[in-house]
Structure 1
Amino acid sequence: MSHSTQRIRRGLCVTALLQGLLLLAIAQWVETVNIPLTSFRFGAAVVGAAGLLVTGLAIAAWKMRNDFALVLNSTVLTMIIAFSAGYHPVHAGDLTVVNGRMVSWQSETEWTEINVRGDPLFGWSNKPNTVSRQSHQDFKVSYAIDGEGWRRLPARPAGSPEIWFLGCSFTFGVGVDDQQAYPALLAQKAWPTAQVRNFSVSGWGTTQAYLVLKNLLTEKTKPRAILYGWINHHRQRNYLRASWFSKSKARQIPRFEVESGELSWVGMVPGSQAKMPEGPELDKKEVAVTIALVRAMAALTREHGVPFIIVLLDPTDPEIKAAFTAIPGVKLMDVGGLSTAFHPNEGHPAPLWHQVVAHAIAADPLLSNLTGMPELLAPSAIADPPMREWHSSWDRSLGAGKLFIRYPAQPTDTLKVEFVGPPAREVRSSVVRHGDIRATKGRTYAFEMVARASGQRPLTFALDRATAPFDNLGLRGDIQLTPEWQRVRRYFVATGDDTAAALALSVGASTESIEFATAPLLRELAGDELAAAAASLAQPQWKLSAEHPSQASLEHVSPVPQTPFLVRVQASGEDIWEIQLQLDGIALEAGREYTFALRARAARARPWSMRSRSIGRAGRISVCGAGRSWVPGGRRCDETLSPPPTRPMPE
């Protein structure tokens, strides 16, 4: 062999060896690689195996012909160029085979092992005898499916009375482990003598619920009760809505029509037929089909002598709720709105939501009365979670991101408010609310709260009517939260009567998370505490005035709304009079001398001023300053405030 031939071989072998090492490096850098021009991906292990193979072949090529080394080089180089040019990060919907199982990706770190299959009766259903996993930034859970294709529940002795659940992902329990879904909680804790079955599949609507009910009633022993878990989105799954079925990518979907007021079965049709755009025509069609389907479900259950209960899992459209109520044989159990504990990014109910729903079902006598089974009424079997009466809302029109409440798992845990997305422009655009509070005009109440935040942020609190015109009922205030725990107690006299007022905490304008040591509390006062509160409320009240662009807040540190308190300046103006602490309602007489005394301190040296003037028949004292925050309680008033010796904030 000539020297030139040997040099060529050595060069080709070294190049192939470097390519193998490059593939090994890529396997350490990426989690998955997509096949060019497709959404199918394979894992880094495949890239690593290819790197080892190429490295081994490059070493073996030293003993082989030049043309082998040339083919190896050109083949590997072509593949590296093709895969590099066609590479894209994970897209939602990309597919990968992992350990022989298909995985669907939602993001770089979020994936779901596909546990559904095409079904000739329902369009799609769960794969029997599987355990699939889902990994999301909000949770990591497993779904165990039994031999019939339903989510696995505890088995009872043969002949045990059965309770059936029908529904979608809310009832199936997407986002929670097997034992955390509300049918499983009822089976384990509330109804230990009943065989609970969960005939639910993610993505199903009323169409599949009717079809599976019809099928089950002809094949299985009659149950003692059937509960259908309804959510509003089922309506949008019951006809040919393009925006829904394009997401599911179902090859076949069941189709019904309503003809002369009666439900008519069209058959299984290709998913490509779902082309109807959003609009009133589609909405009207969906409502008609939905009501006809529920009417048919009720007729089936009446025919077999089985109680049929629709569990309203979210606040239901009034038109549909009224239509359900009017159907003979339909009973409603409304648990919608009892909890807003949803996974903040993925969107499905969190474990606490399932616990709240399970508790509500177990505590409702309806099921026990309909079945004649007193053991189904078990109000104490499932704990009612602490602080679950607090709910969240946000206004997207004001630029608000999502607001998520992380409820305490135990009574000793804290309530946390977290945010996803950009901060809202206004404090009032994101609200944590507790409704159904009784307020009586003229009575005295105390508002109490212990809270902190991950960083400095505003919070306002108010007691308002829950319905128009949403009048305030005497409580309104604001504070600046910090990472240190702050205790707030505010006395007020209710200015109106309301049996369902709303205590609202406005938490927009920042994404700093908030933590409450206990649930914010509103209670009516009596005895000595009432007398002390009445005496303090009868005195003139300090208030804060800040002219734009200045921004400041008045925070009361003690229970009495006079002193001590903190004036916190967020933005100072140019004029010292732009921020004023004012005390109105002081009786003054001309010609008489008065003494004004004030003890105050500041975080650093800063100017301030004081003046009094007449407003109508009463006087006003104004303490003004446009610099940094200051706290009455340090030293006698002067033209300049300075920091006092270090000491703790008064309780």
Structure 2
Amino acid sequence: MLRWAGQALTGAVALLLLAMALRMNRDWTDRHLLPDIIVPSDWLMMIVQVERLLLVALAAVLLLAMRRIGARRGIAIAMAVLLALPASELVMQYASGRKGQAWNPSDEPLRRADPLIGWTYTPSRCAGDPEYAWRPVYCIDGQGYRVASSDMPFDRAAPAILFVGESILFGKGLNWRDSVTGQVQELSGIASANLAVNAYSLSQGFLHLKRELPRFRRPVAVVILFTPSLMMRELDRNRPWIDSAGHWHRATGTWALSHLGRVLFPYHGAAAIDEAVAADRRLLRAEVALVRARGARPLVLVPVFQPEGPRERALRAAIFNGAAIPHLVVPLGQHWRLPGDSHPDARAHRMMARALWTRLRTETS
């Protein structure tokens, strides 16, 4: 009886795996995957196809071995898998240094915990980024903003164009002069206040802007970054987040294995994706209203690496169509990325800076 039960369970699992593999077609993928800045869209599709093949192969192995698997052996295999999970978690926690956080405390520029936003930069320091062979230098002033050099802290009493976002607007992998903020400052002659912080979600960017904007006496414009490849962060509960109703939620700790799962199994239910779209749309509207209340010009920057995929285009339309959100779409070359990295390179930042200043100059003239 136990042997029969083990065989029946094994067969049921095998059939379930086959059903999953058959269901994971392109239409299912488009409905359940969000584009991810870490994983290019062609990689995502390759991962899905590999996973389908692995599911079919695993199902075949289980069906072939079904007669040989008894209850005791099945229980032993299940226990081995369950014990491997916490062991893998401990190893990944130790290796990554994250300790359940959404950010790595040892990455440059260094960060510190913030109870409202999640994290901010450690102020008053300059350091090179060892992640890149050319070691770009990041200088953070005493207010937590990126500046050109340590002897040039930002003056919040002067006219300023504010930049709110994450590592793209921060200029990760680039020196100040090559970043979009440095180039807009050079083109406009107006000081660029770089409030962008690595790995921020749109929720975190909004919370940061809400805190910092009242401290500027003469804000001229505020540039807010948005791209569908960052929407996945709105579903990450390992950071503070704001739901589609506008309610703030504190971060909840997650396993280090979840970061691996984000790459290997980046699937979400349709309701979760709809929630992310509604939340981002509401957040962008709130940021626009916040900026206009201070008498400054809001502009949402949307960099788009070419060719834009249909999924990204559909998500962008869901956010902006009929929402009256001032935005600027900037097409970028397909290969305008840092070597071995998904972040935009100096060419992409130059293109964004010129497009931004052309738009802002037209609106403020």
User: Is contact 2:242-2:279 (8 Å) kept?
Assistant: yes
User: Is contact 2:226-2:301 (8 Å) kept?
Assistant: yes
Aligned-partner Cα distance in 1 for 2:140–2:253: 25
Aligned-partner Cα distance in 1 for 2:331–2:96: 31
Letter aligned with residue 93 of structure 1: S
1:269 deviates by: 2.8
Give the counterpart of 1:278 among 263, 267, 274: 267
Q: Tell me the equivalent position of 1:45.
A: none
User: Is contact 1:239-1:289 (8 Å) kept?
Assistant: no
| Residue 185 of structure 2 corresponds to residue 191 of structure 1 | no
Gapped regions of structure 2 (runs ≥ 5): 1-90, 99-103
Q: Secondary structure of the residue that 1:279 maps to in structure 2? A: coil
| Residue 365 of structure 2 corresponds to residue 367 of structure 1 | no
User: Aligned runs of 1:473-552 on 2, under 5 Å?
Assistant: none
Letter aligned with residue 271 of structure 1: G
Give the counterpart of 1:347 among 333, 342, 346: 342
Letter aligned with residue 361 of structure 2: S
Letter aligned with residue 279 of structure 1: H
1:325 deviates by: 4.4
Q: Tell me the equivalent position of 2:96.
A: 93
Q: Tell me the equivalent position of 1:307.
A: 297
Q: Tell me the equivalent position of 2:250.
A: 268
Give the counterpart of 2:168 among 142, 167, 170: 170
Q: Deviations over 1:44-96 (max 9, x none)?
A: xxxxxxxxxxxxxxxxxxxxxxxxxxxxxxxxxxxxxxxxxxxx9xx96369x
Q: Tell me the equivalent position of 1:118.
A: 113
Decide whether aligned partners of structure 1 residues 134 and 92 sit closer, same or farther in structure 2, where only a CA change above 3 A counts: farther
1:159 deviates by: 5.0
Q: Tell me the equivalent position of 1:453.
A: none
User: Is contact 1:129-1:147 (8 Å) kept?
Assistant: yes
User: Is contact 1:235-1:290 (8 Å) kept?
Assistant: yes
Q: Secondary structure of the residue that 2:229 maps to in structure 1? A: helix
Decide whether aligned partners of structure 1 residues 257 and 118 sit closer, same or farther in structure 2, where only a CA change above 3 A counts: same
Larger radius of gyration: 1
1:158 deviates by: 7.5
Give the counterpart of 1:254 among 240, 247, 254: 240
Q: Tell me the equivalent position of 2:141.
A: 146
Aligned-partner Cα distance in 1 for 2:337–2:172: 11
User: Is contact 2:157-2:216 (8 Å) kept?
Assistant: no
Q: Secondary structure of the residue that 1:333 maps to in structure 2? A: strand
1:353 deviates by: 2.2
User: Is contact 1:338-1:356 (8 Å) kept?
Assistant: no
User: Is contact 1:168-1:205 (8 Å) kept?
Assistant: yes
Q: Secondary structure of the residue that 1:162 maps to in structure 2? A: strand
User: Aligned runs of 1:38-437 on 2, under 5 Å?
Assistant: 93=96, 104=106, 112-113=107-108, 115-136=110-131, 138-153=133-148, 159-187=157-185, 189-192=186-189, 194-240=190-236, 245=238, 253-258=239-244, 262-265=245-248, 267-272=249-254, 278-281=267-270, 282-315=272-305, 317-322=312-317, 323-328=319-324, 330-338=325-333, 340-362=335-357, 364=358, 366-372=359-365
Q: Deviations over 1:521-547 (max 9, x none)?
A: xxxxxxxxxxxxxxxxxxxxxxxxxxx
Instruction: Give the helix-richer structure, 1 or 2.
Output: 2
1:126 deviates by: 0.6
Using the aligned pairs only, state the percent identity: 24
Q: Secondary structure of the residue that 1:213 maps to in structure 2? A: helix
Decide whether aligned partners of structure 1 residues 336 and 138 sit closer, same or farther in structure 2, where only a CA change above 3 A counts: farther
User: Is contact 1:155-1:195 (8 Å) kept?
Assistant: no
Aligned-partner Cα distance in 2 for 1:237–1:360: 26
1:113 deviates by: 4.2
Letter aligned with residue 268 of structure 1: R
1:233 deviates by: 2.5
User: Is contact 1:232-1:314 (8 Å) kept?
Assistant: no
Aligned-partner Cα distance in 1 for 2:153–2:124: 15
1:145 deviates by: 0.5
Q: Secondary structure of the residue that 1:135 maps to in structure 2? A: coil
The alignment covers a number of residue pairs equal to 251
1:156 deviates by: 7.8
User: Is contact 1:138-1:344 (8 Å) kept?
Assistant: no
Q: Which structure carries more relative contact order (alpha carbon 8 Å, separation 6+)?
A: 2
Aligned-partner Cα distance in 2 for 1:321–1:361: 19
1:310 deviates by: 0.6
Decide whether aligned partners of structure 1 residues 302 and 320 sit closer, same or farther in structure 2, where only a CA change above 3 A counts: farther
The TM-score with structure 1 as length reference comes to: 0.35
Decide whether aligned partners of structure 1 residues 143 and 239 sit closer, same or farther in structure 2, where only a CA change above 3 A counts: same
User: Is contact 2:109-2:121 (8 Å) kept?
Assistant: no
Decide whether aligned partners of structure 1 residues 321 and 103 sit closer, same or farther in structure 2, where only a CA change above 3 A counts: closer
Gapped regions of structure 1 (runs ≥ 5): 1-87, 96-101, 105-111, 246-252, 373-651
User: Is contact 1:167-1:229 (8 Å) kept?
Assistant: yes
Instruction: Give the strand-richer structure, 1 or 2.
Output: 1
Aligned-partner Cα distance in 2 for 1:185–1:114: 20
Decide whether aligned partners of structure 1 residues 181 and 339 sit closer, same or farther in structure 2, where only a CA change above 3 A counts: farther
Q: Secondary structure of the residue that 1:117 maps to in structure 2? A: strand
Decide whether aligned partners of structure 1 residues 159 and 231 sit closer, same or farther in structure 2, where only a CA change above 3 A counts: same
